[in-house]
Amino acid sequence: MADTKREIERKYEATPETTLPDLTRVTGVAGVVDQGTTELDAVYYDTSDLRLAAASITLRRRTGGDDAGWHLKLPVAPGVRDEIRAPLSGAVPRTLKALVRARTRDSALEPVVRLRSARDLHHLVDGDGALLAEVSRDAVRAERLDDGRTAAWDEIEVELADDGDPALLDKVGKKLRKAGIRDADAPSKLARALDETGLAPVPAPGPPALPGTAGSEVLAYLEAQVRALLSYDPGVRRNLPDAVHQMRVATRRLRSAFRSYAAVLDRAVTDPLGEELKWLAGELGAARDTEVLAERLRGRLDALPRTLLLGPVRGRLRIWTGARGSGSRRRAVTALDSRRYVALLTALEGFLAAPPLRKRAAGSPEQVLPGALRKDYGRLADRIEHALSLPAGPDRDLAMHDARKAAKRARYAGEVAAPALGGPAKRFAKRMKAVQTVLGDHQDSVVARDTLKLLAAQAHAAGESAFTWGLLYGQEQRSAADRERELPEVWARAAPERLRETT
């Protein structure tokens, strides 16, 4: 079994002669408790081309200390990492291999660097003796495992205790700097070991340099979405909140940009990629859709007076959510473990390294990008006009769902153009998002009503009252009608003449 610890720390340079200042003078620190010296021995694993190091990910097998075992560290923010631990074993645990598969793909993990550290550990405690932070003074010896090259250095590491206040790290850092101890240049021991032994990771191939062109703007956006796709992969596997949603958004942004900016990119290449992204979004979507719908229905139940909750409605919703949720999660993880997914990631990497640019990609952003916004706006206008011309019912519901997808595409097109076009494109994206929100809430109501009918039927078959489910069905019907009445006004504000002329 693997467990997780949020690691928030700061690193500082040291020499064998460096001594720690009196840290009891830091506000909130009542004592510094010497924990003695520990010998740590860690072997770091990576692919032969150091793909994990290039992504600021570390995987090690460590002995010594009170946390011997396998440690996988995933970046969260500067100075913040999630450390996923697994028991000590000979081979890399399968659970940790899966969490880095988007990076390693078919490449083997092999030992790269060995770090041995003599650690003098001190605990910073408050007046009640509770742990605030750990201060380690490490004498590190690094050895490259392919050619035996070595490096050695001293450093100080300050790690916040679980649920600690990050402001304490600022105070301790200020005290250390006053004592002449400066911040470390390397973000981790591994990064320094690789640098000082001449084993630097090779950056993943990115888009070619096309400064100041429409192509450079589109490719920069696409590269950011591919990075997001890779970064959210471990979160989906770990079932972290919002990870599925964010990964799915990245797939949709990629696919949308491919279609909106067909004047810049060759569709013969991007269309097949788009189809694979559509597949991935669909596999992820089942989990996300269940999550959103369950939250919506729970909110509806919470808003009802207790006198209107007839029967075991919360229990029945939990059963439905559990059955749908577990199956949806398995489906998402199965997709991420598939050869098809690995092939997609490799294809996206190849796309960025050699993008299929068309002639217009060399034009200026001001000349090329507005055309995509106008085209997507016109497409959305046609779909909204069609939806509003239909009477209420299933045909209008379907037409509004189609309009929602067009609004999302127009919004993403505005996001692509915003860095180059500034305010007009940002306002365009914001207005398209407002339209998307109204249409999205309408579609959520359509889906909710279908589920409420199912829940009502299940309750009736079990001899339970279906009253509450019928009540919620009526609320969702009213919500959909409200969104339909709201849409013309929101659409009228979405793209005034001035904005259309600007973009």
According to the 3-state scheme, what is the secondary structure of 78-126?
CCEEEEEEECCCCCCCHHHHHHCHHHHCCCCCEEEEEEEEEEEEEEEEC
Question: Which of 174, 196, 218 is the C-terminal boundary of a domain?
Answer: 196
362 domain residue, yes or no:
no
Last residue of a domain, one of 161, 196, 231: 196
Q: What is the DSSP string of 291-350?
A: HHHHHHHHHHHHHS-GGG--SSHHHHHHHHHHHHHHHHHHHHHHHHTSHHHHHHHHHHHH
pLDDT at 71 over 50: yes
Q: Is pLDDT of 209 > 80?
A: no
Residue 341 belongs to a domain: yes
The Cα 257–Cα 109 span in angstroms is: 34
Q: Which of 475, 473, 460 shows the shortest CA–CA distance to 316?
A: 460
Looking at every residue in the chain, the average pLDDT score rounds to 93
Task: Kindly state whether residue 386 falls inside one of the protein's structural domains.
Answer: yes
Output the pLDDT for position 208: 75
**Which region among 30-39, 145-154, 164-173, 290-299 has the lowest average model confidence (pLDDT)?**
290-299
Same domain, 436 and 408: yes
Region of residue 290 (left: phi > 0; alpha: psi -120 to 50; beta: else): alpha
Same domain, 218 and 346: yes
Reduced to 3 states (helix: H, G, I; strand: E, B; else coil), residue 50 is coil
Domain-located, residue 204: no
pLDDT at res. 500: 44
d(CA 258, CA 21): 56
Confidence label for 34 from pLDDT (cuts 50, 70 and 90): very high
State the sign of the Cα–Cα–Cα–Cα dihedral 163, 166, 168, 169: positive
Does pTM top 0.85 for this prediction? yes
| Residue 64 tokens, joined | 């010594």
pLDDT at 78 over 80: yes
Q: Are residues 466 and 391 in the same domain?
A: yes
Kindly give, in sequence order, each residue whose CB lies less than 8 Å from that of residue 212, ignoring residues fewer than 6 positions away.
Answer: 364, 365
Alpha helix positions (H), 179-263: 189-196, 214-237, 243-260
Q: Domain check: are 379 and 424 in the same one?
A: yes
Q: What is the mean pLDDT of residues 273-295?
A: 89
In 126-232, the DSSP E strands lie at 131-144, 150-160
Same domain? For 347 and 402 the reply is no
What is the rounded CA–CA span in Å between residue 54 and residue 36? 34
Is residue 96 within 8 Å of 52, Cβ to Cβ? no
Q: Are residues 376 and 347 in the same domain?
A: no
Q: Are 30 and 125 in contact (CB under 8 A)?
A: yes
Cβ proximity of 487 and 463 under 8 Å: no
Phi/psi at 162 (nearest 5 deg)?
-55, 135
pLDDT band at 123, cuts 50/70/90?
very high
Contact 469, 449 (CB under 8 A): no
What is the distance between the alpha carbons of residues 320 and 294, in angstroms, rounded to a whole number? 9
Structure tokens at 30: 């009542």
> How many domains is the chain built from?
3
- Establish if 202 belongs to a structural domain: no
pLDDT at position 496: 52
Please report which confidence band the pLDDT of residue 498 belongs to, taking 50, 70 and 90 as the band edges: very low
Pair (99, 27) in one structural domain: yes
Domain assignment present for 113? yes
Q: Assess whether 217 and 172 both reside in one domain.
A: no
Residue 203 within any structural domain of the chain? no
* pLDDT for 499 beyond 70: no
Overall average pLDDT of the 28-57 stretch = 95
Judge whether residue 273 has pLDDT over 70.
yes
Percent of the chain having pLDDT more than 70? 97
Closest CA to 201 of 116, 113, 267: 113
* C-beta pairs of 128-133 under 8 Å, 24+ apart in sequence: 129/31, 130/161, 131/161, 132/28, 132/29, 132/160, 132/161, 132/164, 132/168, 133/158, 133/159, 133/160, 133/161, 133/164, 133/168, 133/169, 133/172
Residue 2 pLDDT grade (very low, low, confident, very high; cuts 50, 70, 90): low
**CATH, residue 28:** 2.40.320.10
- Condensed to tens digits (0 to 9), the pLDDT of residues 211-259 reads 899 999 999 999 999 999 999 999 999 989 889 999 999 999 999 999 9
Write down the number of H helices and E strands in the chain: 15, 8
Residues 105 and 145 in one domain: yes
Query: Would 403 be classed as within a structural domain?
Result: yes
Mean pLDDT of 343-362: 95
C-alpha 124/C-alpha 31 separation (Å) is: 6
Q: Please report, for the domain that includes residue 244, its CATH number.
A: 1.40.20.10
Q: Does 260 share its domain with 392? A: no
Place of tokens 């009526």: 474
Q: Are 459 and 316 in contact (CB under 8 A)?
A: yes
pLDDT band at 152 (very low <50, low <70, confident <90, very high): very high
Domain shared by 99 and 121, yes or no: yes
Rounded alpha-carbon distances, angstroms, from residue 64 to 134, 179, 189: 17, 30, 17
Q: Which domain holds residue 98?
A: 3-196
Answer yes or no: do 303 and 447 share one domain: no
Residue where one domain finishes, among candidates 164, 196, 228:
196
